[in-house]
C-alpha cells in the first residue's frame, strides 16, 4: 500500500496547531481535496478556522468530521522526540496529534482521494467538516458550522468522527454514542473568622461536606443497555485564604456529571439543588451543559462501519458509548447518525503521543470501505 497517509500525517504533525491555531493544516487538506474535485469553503468564526468540503451532487450526505487542533505539549524536554517533529521509530509515528487526531485526518483525506478517483460520479455526497476548536472551548468550531448548515437547509445523514475510539487494535471499538456532559460551578457561603473562635464564624467547607457526601453516593440512574449509570465527580475544590488561622468565608467547587439517556440535564439540576437545599446551605450555583447524550442504534451507518471492520480487519467490532465527549454531540441533534472510528487511544494527550504506522494504513482502508458501503 502507498505511504501517502503516513506522509500526510507527518506534514500535519509538523504544523504546531495548538488550539485554536490551525497553523495551515486545513489549507493543506483543502488543497489535497480540491485536486480530486471537492468544493472547499472556509468558515472562520472569531479566531477559529473551519473547513467545509463537499464532493458530489445531491442525494444522501456522508460527512467525515475531525479537528486539526491539538492540546499543548507540556515540557517538550520530557518527550522522546520533539513533539512537532514527526518521527518514525520502532514501527510508530511520534508527535503531538499523531493519534488525536492528525493520523485520522490523513487517513480520511487519502481515503477520500482514492474514493473520488475510483468513483468520480458516485451517488450521494461525501463531505468533510474540520475545525481547529475541538480541544478548546468548542464554541466557534463544529457547533457553529452545524448551525450554518442547518440555516441553509443542509441535512447530514451520516457522520463518521475520526476520534481515537480503538482500545487495543484499530477498529476493535466503534463509539455509537456518548454520554451527556454537564459542569456545575458551586460557591458555598460561610462567615470568615479566626480558627480559635469558631462560634463567631461559619465554615463553608464543614457545611458543604455532608452535601458532597450525599451527591457523591446518590444513585442518579441505573443506566441501560447502551449507557453506564450517570456519574458525579468533584473536579476542583478551593477554599481558604492561604493562612492557617483563618476560617474561610467561601468554598468554590466545580463538579461534573456524565449522564445517560435515563435522565435529563434539567432533572439533574433540580435534584442537585434539592440536595443542597436539604442541607440548608447558602450558595450560588451555575450549570453548563457541554453536550447532550446521543445514541446511534443499528442502522445504515453502524452496519457500514461494522462491516468495514469485518472486511478490512477480519474481526467483529464492539459498539460502545464509554469515554468523554466529542464533536459528535453537535452533529447528532440534527438527526444524523453518528459513529466514532479512529486509532488506538492509549497515548492521546500524553507525552510521547504516537500511532502505529501500520494502523494508519488500516484506518485508511476502513474509511474507504465505509464510503463505499454507504455511497456505492
Q: Of 171, 162, 174, which Cα lies nearest the Cα of 64?
A: 162
Bridge partners of 236, per DSSP, are 254
Q: Alpha-carbon distance 313 to 229, whole Å?
A: 32
Q: Alpha-carbon distance 101 to 371, whole Å?
A: 19
Instruction: Tell me, yes or no, if 277 is annotated catalytic.
Output: no
Give the CB-side neighbour count of residue 309, counting CA atoms within 13 A: 22
Q: Are 296 and 261 in contact (CB under 8 A)?
A: no
Which run of H or of E encompasses 231? Answer: strand 231-239
Out of 21, 22, 49, 69, the active site residue is 69
* Interacting residues of 83 by C-beta distance below 8 A, sequence separation 6+: 73, 76, 95, 96, 353
Residue 341: phi and psi, rounded to 5, are: -140, 115
Q: Alpha-carbon distance 263 to 173, whole Å?
A: 25
Q: Alpha-carbon distance 43 to 91, whole Å?
A: 37
Residue 141: phi and psi, rounded to 5, are: -105, -120
Phi-psi region of 8 (alpha: psi -120 to 50; beta: other; left: phi over 0): alpha
Instruction: Tell me, yes or no, if 151 is annotated catalytic.
Output: no
Helix (H, G, I), strand (E, B) or coil at 202: strand
Give the CB-side neighbour count of residue 234, counting CA atoms within 13 A: 16
Q: Alpha-carbon distance 84 to 102, whole Å?
A: 12
Out of 21, 133, 134, 327, the active site residue is 134
Instruction: Catalogue the active-site residues.
Output: 69, 134
Amino acid at each position: 500500500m502507498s505511504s501517502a497517509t503516513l506522509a500526510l500525517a507527518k506534514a500535519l504533525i509538523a504544523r504546531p496547531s495548538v488550539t485554536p491555531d490551525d497553523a495551515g493544516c486545513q489549507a493543506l487538506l483543502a488543497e489535497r481535496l480540491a485536486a480530486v474535485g471537492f468544493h472547499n469553503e472556509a468558515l472562520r468564526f472569531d479566531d477559529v478556522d473551519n473547513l467545509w468540503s463537499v464532493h458530489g451532487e445531491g442525494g444522501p450526505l456522508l460527512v467525515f468530521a475531525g479537528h486539526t487542533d491539538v492540546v499543548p505539549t507540556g515540557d517538550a524536554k520530557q518527550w522522546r522526540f520533539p513533539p512537532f517533529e514527526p518521527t518514525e521509530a520502532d514501527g510508530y509515528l511520534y508527535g503531538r496529534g499523531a493519534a488525536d487526531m492528525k493520523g485520522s485526518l490523513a487517513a480520511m483525506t487519502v481515503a477520500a482521494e482514492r474514493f473520488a478517483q475510483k468513483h468520480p460520479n458516485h451517488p450521494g455526497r461525501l463531505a468533510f467538516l474540520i475545525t481547529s476548536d475541538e480541544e478548546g472551548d468548542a464554541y466557534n468550531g463544529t457547533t457553529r458550522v452545524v448551525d450554518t448548515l442547518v440555516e441553509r437547509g443542509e441535512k447530514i445523514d451520516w457522520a463518521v468522527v475520526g476520534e481515537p475510539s480503538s482500545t487495543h487494535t484499530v477498529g476493535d471499538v466503534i463509539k455509537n454514542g456518548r454520554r451527556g456532559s454537564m459542569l456545575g460551578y458551586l460557591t458555598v457561603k460561610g462567615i470568615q473568622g479566626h480558627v480559635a473562635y469558631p462560634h463567631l464564624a461559619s465554615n463553608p467547607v464543614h457545611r458543604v461536606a455532608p452535601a458532597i457526601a450525599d451527591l457523591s453516593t446518590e444513585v442518579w440512574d441505573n443506566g441501560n443497555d447502551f449507557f453506564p449509570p450517570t456519574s458525579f465527580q468533584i473536579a476542583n475544590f478551593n477554599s481558604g485564604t492561604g493562612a492557617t488561622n483563618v476560617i474561610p468565608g467561601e468554598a468554590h467547587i466545580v463538579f461534573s456529571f456524565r449522564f445517560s439517556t435515563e435522565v435529563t440535564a434539567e432533572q439533574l439540576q433540580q435534584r442537585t439543588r434539592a440536595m443542597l437545599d436539604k442541607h440548608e446551605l447558602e450558595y450560588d450555583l451555575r450549570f453548563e451543559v457541554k453536550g447532550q447524550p446521543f445514541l446511534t442504534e443499528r442502522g445504515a451507518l453502524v452496519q457500514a462501519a461494522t462491516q468495514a471492520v469485518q472486511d478490512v480487519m477480519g474481526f467483529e467490532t464492539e459498539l460502545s458509548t464509554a469515554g468523554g465527549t466529542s464533536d459528535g454531540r453537535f452533529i447528532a441533534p440534527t438527526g444524523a447518525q453518528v459513529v466514532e472510528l479512529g486509532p488506538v487511544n492509549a497515548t492521546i494527550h500524553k507525552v510521547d503521543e504516537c500511532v502505529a504506522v501500520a494502523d494508519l494504513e488500516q484506518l485508511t482502508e476502513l474509511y474507504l470501505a465505509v464510503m463505499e458501503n454507504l455511497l456505492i
